[in-house]
């Protein structure tokens, strides 16, 4: 973690705190403002879990999911907005419009049989009639298709690569297949059901689609057969809502902002992704209250259509004028904070982990350290994770707004070193139910959920008191002391002049 940032009296951690270990208890209380300490205690696992139960029931009553453009999402918006209005927050549910792909073709045809192949977000389309090539199956292991060496020993030139999901991002798998010469990619699910509503994150090189676990297993037995992949779509415009809530107290030109996405994928209720972040943020807001004693207003956001490409947050940030963007001191993002095989990741604001994504805007390193210091005081070791572009911080960073946040892991695989440090199971995904039907109330590590909820509450409230370390804006008390000091100096100077004149 970064060693450059010191949040002074606001977020400084005692130098006497022992180095964290995997078995350390919540030993020392983090140093910081009284408001932050109080809020971290008030935001309990039980309180957060109640909102998760609500999200599960709303999904169960509305087709089993809370995906954007579904009744389950609308019910989730109404639940969150209603709770916040009852608590006295200034609440809005601004609309945004976006184009959605409507599938015209979604097939992989082998030996006269059609298998469903759903094009991924950011993937190019196939031409009409599809792309034909020999089916090449990447050997399956815990990181199938994640290394270039996985494609050695076979001729992938002109082929359609079949790769099992898991171990790394869909983007990495498809880039490796492209580099090996493949003309299209089929990624098969590693849990029951189809693979849909997933993204390559960045515009793809070759058509890439998802198929079900069962179809992937069947097609793996047809290696070498000719396959025609036809994945095409057109776009239609749709409208959806975000939820924005702000405290009535605090400066409106130096706002602390915290957000999470509210929508799930269509396959399930999305209780970890991202009921966990949404519930922790909601409980933080409710326990903070709409009139806290803060210097800086705190604005909470629950984003829509994140699972369709980060649309809600991007459209909202882009709708702001430059002056309105200047009013945002920083942005905190919470997307999956209760993964069942949890990691304790903090967004790598200073790129000290040097994994390639680069640092965030100035202030991001300080945000990273604020979270790291909190967990260190609690005896919980942490690691940095890239601003990979996979969550709602993206547009804030693009506009120069410092950002940070927490993440307990998705489809990535926990290492042996991480299991020794945090517990859990090595060689298994942080969330084996990521984007799957089984992401339900049974898919939560409530210890991780509680720890992360405490960190969310503490750091959010601490920045409500002061953002000086991030952007140089001092807290009210420090401003008052500076004015008092200036007045005293002015008075002393006037007395000196008067004395000199009398002499």
Counting DSSP H helices and E strands in the chain, the numbers are 15, 16
H helix intervals, 378-415: 394-398
Instruction: Give yes or no for a contact between 40 and 260, defined as CB atoms under 8 angstroms apart.
Output: no
Q: Within 44-129, where are the H helices?
A: 45-60, 71-86
To the query of whether residue 306 is one of the catalytic residues in this protein, the response is yes
Q: Tell which residue, 64, 115, 188, 69, has the closest CA to residue 437.
A: 64
Secondary structure element (H or E) that encloses residue 35, with its range: helix 34-42
Q: Are 290 and 248 a contacting pair, CB within 8 Å?
A: yes
Question: Could you give the CA distance from residue 142 to residue 188 in angstroms, rounded to a whole number?
Answer: 14
Q: Residue 74 class from Cβ within 10 Å (0-12 exposed, 13-18 middle, 19+ buried)?
A: middle
CA dist 198 and 309 (Å) reads 9
Contact partners, residue 149, CB within 8 Å, separation at least 6:
none
Q: Which two tokens stand for residue 355?
A: 């994994």
Active-site position among 246, 266, 283, 306: 306
- As a whole number of angstroms, the distance between CA 429 and CA 445 comes to 13
Q: How far is CA 226 from the centre of its chain?
A: 39
Residues belonging to the active site: 306
């Amino acid at each position: 973690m970064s060693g450059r940032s010191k949040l002074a009296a606001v977020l400084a951690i005692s130098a006497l705190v022992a180095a964290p270990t995997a078995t350390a208890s919540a030993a020392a209380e983090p140093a910081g403002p009284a408001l932050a300490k109080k809020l971290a205690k008030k935001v309990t696992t039980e309180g957060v879990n109640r909102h998760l139960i609500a999200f599960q029931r709303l999904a169960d009553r509305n087709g089993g999911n809370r995906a954007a453009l579904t009744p389950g999402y609308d019910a989730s918006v109404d639940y969150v907005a209603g709770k916040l209005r009852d608590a006295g927050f200034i609440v809005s549910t601004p609309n945004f419009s976006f184009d959605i792909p409507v599938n015209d073709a979604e097939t992989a045809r082998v030996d006269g049989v059609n298998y469903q192949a759903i094009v991924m977000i950011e993937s190019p389309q196939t031409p009409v009639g599809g792309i034909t090539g020999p089916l090449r199956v990447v050997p399956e292991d815990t990181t199938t298709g994640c290394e270039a060496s996985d494609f050695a020993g076979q001729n992938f030139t002109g082929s359609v690569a079949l790769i099992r999901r898991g171990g790394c991002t869909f983007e990495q798998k498809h880039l490796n297949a492209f580099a090996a010469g493949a003309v299209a990619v089929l990624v098969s699910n590693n849990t029951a059901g189809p693979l849909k509503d997933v993204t390559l994150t960045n515009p793809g090189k070759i058509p890439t689609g998802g198929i079900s676990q069962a179809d992937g297993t069947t097609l793996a037995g047809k290696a070498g057969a000719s396959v025609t992949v036809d994945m095409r779509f057109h776009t239609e415009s749709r409208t959806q809502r975000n939820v924005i809530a702000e405290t009535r107290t605090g400066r409106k030109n130096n706002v602390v902002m915290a957000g999470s996405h509210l929508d799930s994928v269509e396959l399930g209720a999305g209780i970890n992704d991202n009921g966990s972040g949404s519930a922790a943020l909601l409980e933080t807001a409710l326990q903070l209250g709409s009139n806290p004693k803060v210097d800086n207003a705190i604005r909470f956001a629950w984003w829509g259509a994140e699972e369709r490409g980060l649309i809600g947050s991007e459209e909202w940030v882009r709708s702001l004028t430059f002056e309105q963007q200047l009013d945002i001191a920083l942005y905190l993002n919470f997307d999956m904070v209760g993964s069942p095989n949890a990691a304790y990741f903090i967004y790598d604001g200073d790129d000290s982990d040097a994994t390639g994504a680069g640092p965030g805007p100035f202030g991001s390193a300080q945000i990273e350290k604020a979270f790291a210091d909190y967990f260190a005081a609690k005896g919980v070791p942490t690691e940095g994770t890239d601003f990979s572009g996979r969550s709602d911080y993206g547009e804030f960073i693009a506009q120069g707004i410092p950002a940070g946040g927490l993440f307990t892991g998705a489809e990535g695989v926990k290492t042996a070193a991480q299991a020794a440090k945090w517990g859990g199971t090595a060689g298994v995904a942080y969330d084996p139910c990521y984007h799957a039907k089984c992401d339900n109330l049974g898919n939560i590590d409530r210890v991780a959920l509680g720890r992360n909820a405490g960190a969310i509450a503490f750091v959010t409230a601490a920045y409500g008191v002061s953002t000086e370390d991030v952007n140089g804006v001092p807290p009210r008390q420090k401003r008052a002391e500076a004015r008092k000091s200036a007045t005293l100096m002015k008075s002393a100077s006037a007395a000196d002049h008067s004395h000199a004149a009398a002499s």
